[in-house]
Amino acid sequence: MKRFDGRGLTRELATPRLYLDYLDPFNCECRAYGRLRDEKCEDLAVRAHGYLLLTTAQEMEIAILARGGSDQDSVNDAPPPRLRRRI
C-alpha cells in the first residue's frame, strides 16, 4: 500500500513489525544514547558493552526473586517476560 507524501512522491507504508521494533525499549535506549553521542554528552549515560538475552525461565526466576520470593513460589505469578534485558 502506498501513500501520497504531499510532494508528488509515494512511498511504502511501514509495517507493524517496524513500529514494534522502533518502540522496543532496547532500540529506544540505543537511539537515546546515539542522540547523546551526537551532542557530545555521553557522560550523561551509563556505558554499556552489550546485553544478555535471557530465557523465559530465567526472567521468571529473576522476577520472583525481585519480589522477595523464593524458588518455591509459583512461576505463574511472575510478570510476562520481555525479550531483552540490558545489564
Q: What is the mean pLDDT of residues 54-69?
A: 89
Q: Nine-digit cell at 87?
A: 545489564
Mean pLDDT of 24-47: 89
What's the pTM value of the predicted model, to 2 decimals? 0.44
- Whether the pLDDT of residue 8 is over 70: the answer is no
Which tens digit of pLDDT belongs to each residue from 71-82?
554 555 555 555
Of 87, 84, 78, 79, nearest to 20 (Cα)? 84
**Domain residue spans in the chain?**
1-47, 48-87
